[in-house]
Amino acid sequence: MTTTHTVSTPTRAGTLGTNAHRPDGVAKVQGGFAFSSDMWSENMLWGATLRSPHPYAKIISIDDSAALAIDGVECVVTAQDVPGSPYYGLIMSDQPVFAAIGDTVRYCGEPIAAVAADHPETCKRALAAIRVVYEILTPVTNPQDCVSGIAPQIHPEGNVYRHQRIITGDQSIVGDVIVEGTYEIGMQDQAFLGLESALAIPDSGGEGLELYVATQWLHEDRKQIAACLNIPEDKIRLVLGGVGGAFGAREDISLQVHTCLLALKSGRPVRISYGREESFYGHVHRHPATIWMRHHADRNGKILKIESTMLFDGGAYCSTSPAVLINAITHTQGPYKCDNASVEGWAVRTNNPPCGAMRGFGVVQACFAHESQMEKLAAALGLSPVEIRLRNVMETGDRLITGQIMDSVAPVEQCIRETDAIAMPEPLLPNADIRQIPGGTGLTAQPGNIVRGVGWGVSMKNLMYSEGFDDYSTARCRMTDGVVSVKFATSEVGQGFTMLAQQIARTILGVDEVLLDTIDTQVGSAGSTSASRQTWMSGGAVKAACEKVLEDLFDHAALTFELSRDHVRIEETDIVDILSGRRIAVSEASKGISFDRTEEYHHPPTEDLDENGQGNCHVAFAFVAHRAVVDVDVELGLVKVVQIATAQDVGRILNPISVQGQVEGGIAQGLGLAVMEEIIVNDGKVRNPSFTDYLLPTFLDAPLVEMVLIEEFEPKSPLGAKGVGEPPCISVTPAIANAIRNATGRELPRVPIRPYDICL
Amino acid sequence: MSSETLGNEIYTLRVNGQDHQVKDAWIGESLLYVLRERLGLPGAKGACEQGECGSCTVVMDSQAVCSCLVMAAAAVDTEILTVEGLGENGSLTDIQQAFLAAGGVQCGFCTPGFIVAVHHLLDSNPEPSDDQIRESLSGNICRCTGYGRILEAVKIVISQRGA
Amino acid sequence: MRVAVLTPRSVDELVATLSEYPQASLLAGGTDLMVEVNLHGRQPGKVISLRRVEELHEWSHRTTQQTVTIGAAVPYSFMETGQIAELLPALAQAARTVGSPQIRAAGTLGGNLGTCSPAGDTLPVLAALNAVIHLLGPDGARDVPWPDFMLGVKKNCLEIGEFVHSITLPVVPGWQGYAKVGSRNAMVIATASTCLVRDTDEGLVTVALGSVGATIIRCTQSENWLAKTTSLRLGAQLDRTIAVEFGQRVASESKPIDDHRSTAEYRKHCVAILAQRLLMRSFE
């Protein structure tokens, strides 16, 4: 059931609810948009990073003399050049800027040194000339060993990032039907196209610098950089360089401090730009996880109890592992009612590549498990996948296993019914084009070899940060002589926030043109572009700042034009006094004035979880259902995802094409995890750090997507809209897995599903 | 870099109808590098350096190729077209407009490569089927859009041009 | 070190240039060389571009001998459609699966041969069609039948100063097909590949495998078994059980390994299925 919120139907181009134009769109299609890797400065040096080839080793010595002797090399920096904190990190400062002599490197790819030189090729040769002597140690690569305690400590802070239980309800309950499984999720990579790049320009006096960087959170970066450089934050200006996608991989700093160190030491601008291989080593990945789950249900299919253990391999450094784990375990139940649960989760440190934020943030892993379980429950009870879920759907007002009451709009049943109502795709024809069938132009299959399967996945996803974290946002709105400009530090990573900010300002202030100020640290923090939070939080901040300016404008207009202050409204581009009917154009009313308002937007506070995992730890939730249709060449195990049908709970559509883009893009990423994407790690070493062997879905892999967007206005959200970025990539993975299971009869407890999993 | 490694030759590349001289270059520089770092044409992007993503697509002697795999010094005597050379006097082509209208641009990193590839596709085949569009663009990776809005953009152009 | 790339304008000039600089890198499409430079630290010395050697960009069809000769610098995109594709359909199918459209516009058979990887997409086709590779060098020309060309992983028989001039393939009456397994539906390095040629005049089948051994594998034992077991001539029928056994025999001749892309077991399984399917297709 959709409730209609009374907002005047948008008629004006570029306001909320319309397909407004991207302010960066023209530059992007012409190739003139400046990504951080396009940034250039006079007198610039190139920088590059030396990384450990070993997953666990002690550094005995570092000799950079041969590198420094190469013509064109300007300087080398190592741990001893770090003036401030040697370590950084989002939650725990445990990650070295550079591994130092006498200390250990803890993952393959850990930075040891950086060089600045006149040409990227000179940098490559300089890196090859740096002699590092290692004492190779035996890496800890099995996360289970960190739980059992048999693994040696590989860091003074210990091998356990977080251990948390959730215990609620009656543990003695036993279901009429019990299903269980042990599920594995492989390490996915964000693989944004816009490779890491930063340009640091030192001040002439050397006391500070300017850093142009593609990142997700300018202020958090600045805080960590300042601590490492031992420079006050106000002497470091971070400017957002154009971001070519993020998906979580830019939440941790990677090259920021290195670039700054080279710039300060050389006294010249320095740019570091990663190549693809280095990018794979240079940022955190999605946590690989092993999840055991057991569902108890009554004979009508109602879930009685869920038990689970979850083990997340956080790799060598902490990043956001504790928060990822909490997200995972608190989403154990999925979008279903559950009164009784026992969950135990571990996030541990190993010598595997460090893991952290990736779109979905722990919920992807939990959802794969719980939706695989729902499939087993359905089979055990002889119910359809739709029916088993409908019998358990969560509703607003339900108590979660953490004790929190679900107070978000929760149209789970509607998501499922709307998805179910979407027409199935046409059956595969005997003369189908080769590009429509598994194997594609590889000509492996013919229609007779192919079996079709259908599968479901439904999920919930928390929005914003959790467990007491106040991830507020800030925005500044100015109206000067009729010209409106908005300033914020919100990272635009492609999701379209800069466009949304303009839409908000246009709608509230009744203007058509909204200028956007540089995105930098000259305004308060906007928090991270992650957790599906920016529409809500930064949208809320922009709204708040604009509304304050509007109040100022109304005050001024009422006085100047003798309007009734209590009865003025904006209608299209006019100020209207609804009492007298008088109408003054905003452009007229705002002549000669200047208003300037900066506002912070905070969400309601949340709580930590107690030792039983009880606490109101999340702010809000969004829901989505996916139905996947796949064709499988069962003899070869090749898969073509034919169609994804989805209904997503979006609250309110602020920009239709933008939402559509998030849904389709998220689905592609979830598809990647289901059938092709995995960082393969053996003994701590990455085997496939390139696009030849880390496979992203291409145009020929993309399915048809049919979507329904459910607009049930979320009253807690400043604009009524929920974040839409993460839900599309979460339950699509188990939907595809369930479809392949449906086609093949295989259990397939692990994603990504490999061809040999299907046919051997 | 030592003067031994950098050459003292000058070579000329013809890009978007104009001649550009390149000097003091290293022989291993790709066309992508030279366009971006020497000729002030940063439109083509590098996301993989091995021809697996298409972000660096340019047209060279009427073929759409990955400029990261073209040795710049060997591209003399060819006609090179980059995204910067598409619209006249800074105006948008119909393909560029369609990408914007259809929502085919999010982060934009893949966009120049796609725009060039689509120009090339429709120049050689004005009415491709959906499958032909997908196959012709299967060398261009997008991580943001899932390709749906991009397909839509191409179909809008085909329809407009056919009308 | 001069930056200028050497650009001979004829085959004779190329031979002379390569004699003068035998260690020089030959550059056609650049799709292998530049990956080495970009990613693997290769520092090119002398580079000889083949762009202006017209002869290497030509192809011909000799109707009496029923052969096709393709210049080493003809790009894959040219082989996907048109006359070459009609005469050599398996080659067209293989060319279509190389990399991406951008790669196919630049990559060449000469490159596939120069690199000589067991995963080279066109190489099983050359093997199944008994291609002859024409080499040129300072000591003149020599013709190398395919089995003598590829010696191992990324190892060919080219001597210093020699280059691939062209490749000659027969036009075979009957049916030919190629199939390649990969983990997504475009732009993949073959997990396993198979080319099968059925000559309905001679009543012979040849089958060659890629990515399942240090070299391309011609399954001569399976070929001989098949020829003895059932008629392969025009108009013959094929029993499905024979096709299944054929596939298993082909698989037993393969020598795949485990690597980060796939497993030996799966690769063996693939070639069994592909050989079976291709054989059955050849009778449809």
All structural domains of chain C with their residue ranges: 55-170, 174-282
Contact A638, A477 (CB under 8 A): no
Average pLDDT, chain A: 97
DSSP symbols for A599-652: EEE-PPP-----TTS-S---SEEEEEEEEEEEEEETTTTEEEEEEEEEEEE-SS
Q: Is the pLDDT of residue A567 over 70?
A: yes
Nearest residue to A113 via CA among A137, A148, A157, A82: A82
Residues A290-332 have pLDDT tens digits of 999 999 999 999 999 999 999 999 999 999 999 999 999 999 9
Phi-psi region for residue C250, left (φ > 0), alpha (ψ -120 to 50) or beta? alpha
Pick from C184, C260, C262: CB nearest A676: C184
Q: Do domains C55-170 and C174-282 have the same CATH topology?
A: no
Burial of A421 (0-12, 13-18, 19+ CB in 10 A): exposed
Q: What is the mean pLDDT of residues A411-426?
A: 98
pLDDT confidence of C214, banded at 50, 70, 90? very high
- A168 is written with which tokens? 């609620």
- d(Cα C145, Cα C156) in Å, to the nearest integer? 12
ipTM of the complex: 0.98
Domain C55-170 CATH class label: alpha beta
pLDDT at C67: 98
Whether residue A755 contacts residue A740, with contact meaning beta carbons closer than 8 Å, is answered with no
Closest CB from A38, A244, A697 relative to B107: A244
Does residue B38 sit at the A interface (CB-CB below 8 Å)? no
| Yes or no: domain A289-466+608-759 corresponds to CATH 3.40.50.10860 | no
Listed by start position, the domains of chain B span 10-82, 94-162
3-state secondary structure of C259: coil
Express each pLDDT in A201-218 by its tens digit. Answer: 999 988 999 999 999 999
pLDDT at A3: 38
- Alpha helices by DSSP H, chain B: 31-33, 94-102, 111-124, 130-136, 148-162
Model pLDDT for residues B92-151, shown as the tens digit of each residue = 999 999 999 999 999 999 999 999 999 999 999 999 999 999 999 999 999 999 999 999
Residue A678 has pLDDT above 70, yes or no: yes
Question: Tens digit of pLDDT for each residue in A541-553?
Answer: 999 999 999 999 9
Percent of chain A with pLDDT strictly greater than 90: 97
Sign of the Cα pseudo-torsion (C156, C159, C165, C170, in order): negative
Is residue B84 less than 8 Å (CB to CB) from chain A?
Answer: yes
- Output the six-digit token pair for B4: 């031994």
Test mutation, A35, A45, A677, A699, chain B, max B CBs within 10 A: A699
> Largest Cα–Cα distance in chain C?
65
List C-alpha distances in Å: B18 to A220, B13, B31, C4. Answer: 45, 8, 15, 20
C153 within 8 A of C257, measured Cβ to Cβ:
no
Q: Which residues of A touch C263 (CB under 8 A)?
A: 756
pLDDT category at B5 given cuts 50, 70, 90 is: low
Question: For domain B94-162, which architecture applies?
Answer: Orthogonal Bundle (1.10)
- Between CA A642 and CA A633 the distance in angstroms is 13
Residue A3, classified by CB atoms within 10 Å of its CB into exposed (0-12), middle (13-18) or buried (19+), is: exposed
Q: Does any CB of chain A come closer than 8 Å to the CB of residue C186? A: yes
| Residue keyed to tokens 């090399």 | A73
List of chain A residues whose C-beta atoms are within 8 Å of the C-beta of residue C39: 275, 277, 690
- Chain centroid offset of residue A531 CA: 6
A350-364, C17-31, C262-276: segment of lowest average pLDDT: C17-31
Average pLDDT, chain C: 96
Bridge partner list, A543: none
pLDDT at residue C1, as a whole number: 42
Residue A353 near residue A681, CB atoms below 8 Å: yes
pLDDT digits (tens, 9 = 90+) for A23-64: 999 999 999 999 999 999 999 999 999 999 999 999 999 999
Distance CA A670, CA A3 (A): 30
Beta strand A514-516 with A483-488 is parallel
B/e letters for A141-167, b = 16+ CB within 10 Å, e = fewer, are: bebeebbeeebeebbebebbbbebebe
Whether residues C186 and A692 touch (CB distance < 8 A) is answered with no
**Chain-centroid distance, C-alpha A731:** 15
State which CATH number among 2.60.40.10, 3.30.390.50, 3.90.226.10, 3.40.1050.10 fits the domain covering C174-282: 3.30.390.50
Say yes or no: C30 contacts chain B, CB-CB below 8 A. Answer: yes
Q: Which residue of C has its CA nearest to B24?
A: C3
Question: CB distance from A511 to chain B under 8 Å?
Answer: no
How many residues are recorded in chain A? 760
Looking at residue C138, its pLDDT comes to 87
- The stretch A355-382 carries a mean pLDDT of 98
C5: nearest CB among B4, B54, B71: B71
Burial C105-129 (b: 16+ CB within 10 A, else e): bbbbbbbbbbbbbbbbbbbbbbbbb
Q: For position A450, what pLDDT does the model report?
A: 96
Cβ neighbours of residue A110 closer than 8 Å, sequence gap 6 or more:
A51, A52, A96, A99, A316
Check CB contact under 8 Å for A37 and B143: no
* CATH architecture of the domain with residue range A36-138+196-243+250-281: Alpha-Beta Complex (3.90)
Supply the pLDDT for residue A10.
56
Of C38, C52, C185, the CB nearest to B50: C38
Residues of chain B positioned with their CB less than 8 A from the CB of A247: 143
> Does the fold of domain A289-466+608-759 match that of domain A25-32+471-601?
yes
Residue C183 to residue A636, Cβ atoms within 8 A: no
Q: What is the pTM of this model?
A: 0.97
- Cβ atoms within 10 Å of A238's Cβ, excluding its own: 26
Q: Do residues A483 and A515 touch, judged by C-beta distance below 8 A?
A: yes
Position A601, amino acid: Y
Cβ neighbour number for residue B61 with a 10 Å cutoff: 13
d(CA A389, CA A25): 41
Q: With pLDDT > 70 as the criterion, what percentage of chain B qualifies? A: 96
Domain B10-82: CATH superfamily is: Beta-grasp domain (3.10.20.30)
- Interface check B89 vs A, CB under 8 A: no
- Subunits next to C (3 or more Cβ pairs <8 Å) are A, B
The string over A329-339, giving b where at least 16 C-beta atoms fall within 10 Å of a residue's C-beta and e elsewhere, is bbbbbbbbbbb
Task: Specify the 3-state DSSP secondary structure of A57.
Answer: strand
Does the beta-carbon distance from A665 to B110 stay under 8 Å? no
pLDDT higher than 70, residue A524:
yes
Contact across the interface for B131 and A435, Cβ inside 8 Å: yes
Name residues whose C-beta falls within 8 Å of residue A102's C-beta, 6 or more positions apart in sequence. Answer: A58, A59
By Cβ distance, the residue of C51, C75, C187 closest to B139 is C187
Q: Token match 């939650």: residue?
A: A91
The tokens describing A699, both together, are 């145009």
Please tell me the predicted confidence (pLDDT) of residue A127: 98
Q: Which of C1, C80, C117, C184 to mutate to test the interface with A (most CBs of A within 10 A)?
A: C184
Report d(CA A296, CA A279) in Å as an integer: 43
Listed by start position, the domains of chain A span: 25-32+471-601, 36-138+196-243+250-281, 289-466+608-759
Beta bridge partners of A68: none
pLDDT band per the 50, 70, 90 thresholds, residue A11: confident
